[in-house]
Homo-oligomer: A and B are copies of this chain.
């Protein structure tokens, strides 16, 4: 009798060689499982929601470009998703071409617009006369050059491209910013947050009440009055009219901590719509520091005290 081992499927922005694949490479549980290359974030999240995939790795923020709007907007509007992990990938680029091509042969460069923008310095210095053809992704650029569907002699691509395609590397490390990093998150339908590690973050998307000014201030106070630091705060238009925003927030700490739970209560009471995206370990594994007076036992003690008052027991 044959033993069937069930394999889990992980969706990621393909094809093989992308930065997203490099992020998925960092997930121990994903090794030996099914990896499913998809064309965009929407498809990846749809895989998860429909049950086709167990999880999806998606880019959420780039140290240069900022938040990935498509991801943020998808997480804001698709219910039933949770972030369970965070991964950082160094972003760098190589210039590749069909075997035998020389740098001097290059007149047109295929590149995803974002990658193209990040190599502006190197291109200006080394290929001042080039022109640009946009490609749909960082790998599609190279494929288009190889198969001739894009009218270009070279492509900007991630370093990992060489493991998957037969290309010559004309130049390495051509990104303008050597510290560029992209932050990825692993998204599932698992509703239970991973256990707290002490180095956690909690992600939320919070819509502000639009009828009273000062509401952003009020939202931030919900965190500051509980000693919680924010590592990310990004505004995104809600999209129905100019001037209406939701905020994408990463807060230091885990929902199982009293101070975070209490802040979430405050946020929920205040916001017309708040999406809890999950509490999960930080990619940098840095232990969250906070003032002693926001310790769990301070919250527990206060609740006991209030309970005594409400029940009519004498205080001690």
A63 touches B299 (CB 8 A): no
Judge whether A121 is part of the interface by a CB distance below 8 angstroms. no
Q: How far is the CA of A268 from the CA of B258 in the complex (A)?
A: 14
B315 touches A239 (CB 8 A): no
Shortest Cβ distance from residue A101 to the other chain B in the assembled complex, whole angstroms:
22
Residues 113-128 of chain A: 1 if any B CB is under 8 Å from the residue's CB, otherwise 0? 1000100000000000
Q: Which residues of B contact A301 (CB under 8 A)?
A: 268-269
List A residues 223-265 near B (Cβ within 8 Å): 224-225, 229-237, 239-243, 245, 255-256, 261, 264-265
Q: How far is the CA of A69 from the CA of B70 in the complex (A)?
A: 14
Q: Which residues of B contact A136 (CB under 8 A)?
A: 132, 134
Q: How far is the CA of A309 from the CA of B254 in the complex (A)?
A: 12
Judge whether A34 is part of the interface by a CB distance below 8 angstroms. no
Identify A66's interface contact among B69, B177, B213, B233, CB under 8 A.
B69
Shortest Cβ distance from residue A41 to the other chain B in the assembled complex, whole angstroms:
11
Shortest Cβ distance from residue A166 to the other chain B in the assembled complex, whole angstroms:
25
Shortest Cβ distance from residue A310 to the other chain B in the assembled complex, whole angstroms:
7
Judge whether A302 is part of the interface by a CB distance below 8 angstroms. yes
Shortest Cβ distance from residue A1 to the other chain B in the assembled complex, whole angstroms:
35
Judge whether A306 is part of the interface by a CB distance below 8 angstroms. yes
Q: Which residues of B contact A240 (CB under 8 A)?
A: 63, 177, 179
Q: How far is the CA of A312 from the CA of B270 in the complex (A)?
A: 23
Identify A241's interface contact among B63, B237, B265, CB under 8 A.
B63
Q: Which residues of B contact A51 (CB under 8 A)?
A: none
Judge whether A191 is part of the interface by a CB distance below 8 angstroms. yes
Secondary structure class of chain A's binding surface, majority of residues: mixed
Q: Which residues of B contact A61 (CB under 8 A)?
A: 237, 242
Q: Considering the complex, give the chain B residue whose CB is closest to the CB of A314.
A: B191
Q: How far is the CA of A275 from the CA of B312 in the complex (A)?
A: 14
A and B contact pairs by CB, cutoff 8 A, 9 listed? A66-B235, A80-B315, A88-B242, A190-B312, A221-B221, A235-B235, A261-B310, A268-B306, A269-B302
Chain A residues in the interface with B (C-beta under 8 A): 61-66, 69-70, 79-80, 88, 113, 117, 132, 134-136, 177, 179, 181, 183, 190-193, 209, 213-214, 216-218, 220-222, 224-225, 229-237, 239-243, 245, 255-256, 261, 264-266, 268-270, 275-276, 293-294, 298-299, 301-303, 305-306, 309-310, 312-316
The 4 closest A-B pairs by CB, nearest first: A192-B312, A268-B302, A191-B312, A134-B134
